[in-house]
Structure 1
Amino acid sequence: MKPQVNIIAVVDVIGALSGSTLLNGNLCMMDDGEHNSAHQGTPDLCTVVQPGQVVSWTALAVDLQTPVEIKNISFVPADDSHARGRQQGQGQGHDQPHAQGQAQGQAQSQSNGHAAGEHSEGDKLDLDVWTGVVPNWLQPGVAYQYRLELQMYEGANSVMHVDTPALMCRQH
């Protein structure tokens, strides 16, 4: 088993901001796991992991002059029908629920040391890599979807998310 799986989110920031969506080819997610993860190259990436493995997320912009950063990673409870029913990839409203760390523990930023979602008013969003450890209690073969929130520039429409990627423990 590899001790770490790296997930990269490649974002066409100009396309995402212009279309107000991370869908339509504006987000490509891939991992370097040793197992056959499903939907490589799409926002629906399902990364196959093993308990105890470290998972690291990184965001990169296609246009190097346009920054993109991970704002938050949170796991939505399996019974959250509201999360499944809404349209994916749109700008984020503040009334949408999320359950941080449901499946993986808390993803943490290595660049500023805050746990996911813990940002003070003056923090600069320079989150290079978010990491977490796959817990032992995940059921094999069950996809645990998470919300990946990305920040591009600043302003009302600068934060967008997708709820379609997932982690899934390998079946024995």
Structure 2
Amino acid sequence: MNPKVNIVVVVDVIGALSDGTLLNGNLCMIDDGEQSTGQGTPELCTVVRPGQVVTWSALAVDLQTPVEIKGITFLGADAEDGDGDAEAAGAEATDAGAGAGAGADGRNGQSGQNGRGGRNGHGPERHNPELEVWSGVVPQLAPGVAHQYRLEVQMYEGEHSTLHIASSALMCQ
């Protein structure tokens, strides 16, 4: 297994903004993992192993409207749609050349930074959204258990420009 797995979030921005949802074919998630399921759907379940680096990046089908990952929140067993209690998971936004994020523990947590300065104003500046990725290290997790996360994407600006899904997951072998 590779030391890194990449997850690409492809968004039909016009469709998502028009429908007000990332469902209905407006979101496609793929990874380069070896045993993942749900490729090409919002139900992607990426198979990982402890210590492996996972990176998420977003691409827009509509090249004129930017899309970026606004947040990744790992859901607890009792949390619904990411609104439960959250602890810092350590997944963070980085520029592609800045290296991997620091120690995501993947347990019932919320992502650390959003690429616009992050916590306390520290972190990478957002120069080029095409280079922005979210990255974290997989912690020791129970094997065979899907750890769902809420993925929030930001499309352009405005009141209804942030949409989310909570159907994707990471699962340790």
Aligned position for 1:159: 162
| 1:89-126 per-position Cα deviation (integer Å, ceiling 9, x unaligned) | xxxxxxx446255xxx31111139893354679x8694
In 2, distance between residues paired with 1:16 and 1:29? 14
What does residue 77 of structure 1 align with? 76
Q: Which residue of 2 aligns with 1:107?
A: 91
Q: How has the CA–CA distance of structure 1 residues 7 and 79 changed in structure 2, closer, same or farther, with 3 Å as cutoff?
A: same
User: How far 1:65 moved relative to its partner?
Assistant: 1.0
Is the aligned partner of 1:168 residue 2:171? yes
Q: Which runs of 5+ in 1 are unaligned?
A: 85-95
The normalised TM-score by structure 1 is 0.79
What is residue 91 of structure 1 aligned with on the other side? none
Percentage of identical aligned residues: 60
CA shift in 2, pair 1:15/1:119, >3 Å: farther
- The amino acid that maps onto 2:93 is S
> Any conservation in 1 of the 2:126–2:132 contact (CA below 8 Å)?
no
| Shift in alpha-carbon separation, 1:100–1:22, aligned structure 2, 3 A | farther
Distance (Å, rounded) in 2 between the aligned partners of 1:17 and 1:29: 18
State the partner residue of 1:67: 66
Q: Within 5 Å, give how 1:1-172 maps onto structure 2.
A: 1-34=1-34, 36-80=35-79, 82-83=80-81, 96-97=83-84, 99=86, 101=88, 105-111=89-95, 115-116=112-113, 118=118, 126=129, 128-136=132-140, 138-170=141-173
Distance 1:167 1:18, change over 3 A: same
Work out whether residues 75 and 100 of structure 1, in 8 Å CA contact, stay in contact via their aligned partners in 2: no
User: What displacement does 1:78 show?
Assistant: 1.2
User: So what's the TM-score if we normalise by structure 2?
Assistant: 0.79
Stretches (4+) displaced over 2 A: 96-101, 111-121, 123-127
More strand by share: 2
